[in-house]
Structure 1
Amino acid sequence: MQTTDATGWETAVLDGGPADGVRMRVVDRPRVIQVTYPCEVEAATAGLHAEAVYVYRRDHRVTSQPLRYGYDVASP
């Protein structure tokens, strides 16, 4: 069963958390995908920004496309 296309890209889907259902293409089956979301900063400080970080870990039981990445509630 072929799992990659000619360029090496594979389809992956995120399960759970704030990015539930997001589909993307990945190369080399990364173990972790980090999703960031911008946060508003109350004090307008030049160059300052904040982002919420969400971590998704690859489900190694899934060996064909789409690869599955589950939300890690304990990270970071």
Structure 2
Amino acid sequence: MNTDDATGWEAAVLDGGPADGLRMRVADRPGVLQVTYPCPLDTPSGGVQVGALYVYRRDPGIHSEPLRYGFDRASP
């Protein structure tokens, strides 16, 4: 496992879905990442926020950087 200095962070990239190609650093190789996008509201919200949730799952076959996370179409 290649890490960014001694911090344990690794490069990762998202494949497919609305965040395709997004690159980031992750710690401890999480199995799932959540991506959220804010949804604009048409009425006064009183402080409420709405976000669309997308799930990406780590490809277990990738063992070197960048780690790859594929879009999970079946997740809520």
Q: Which range, TM-score by smaller chain?
A: over 0.9
**Letter paired with 2:13:** V
Moved over 4 A (4+): none
RMSD: 0.9
What number of residue pairs does the alignment pair up? 75
Q: Give, in angstroms, the shift of residue 23 of structure 1.
A: 0.3
Structure 2: gaps (5+ residues): none
**Letter paired with 1:3:** N
Q: TM-score, with normalisation over the residues of structure 1?
A: 0.93
Structure 1: gaps (5+ residues): none
Query: What corresponds to 2:35 in structure 1?
Result: 35
Q: TM-score, with normalisation over the residues of structure 2?
A: 0.93
**Letter paired with 1:68:** R
Query: What corresponds to 1:49 in structure 2?
Result: 49
Q: Give, in angstroms, the shift of residue 68 of structure 1.
A: 0.1
**Letter paired with 1:46:** G
Query: What corresponds to 2:14 in structure 1?
Result: 14
Q: Select between 62-71 and 37-46 the one with higher mean Cα deviation.
A: 37-46
**Letter paired with 2:36:** T
Query: What corresponds to 1:4 in structure 2?
Result: 3
Alpha-carbon distance in 2 for matches of 1:3, 1:30: 15
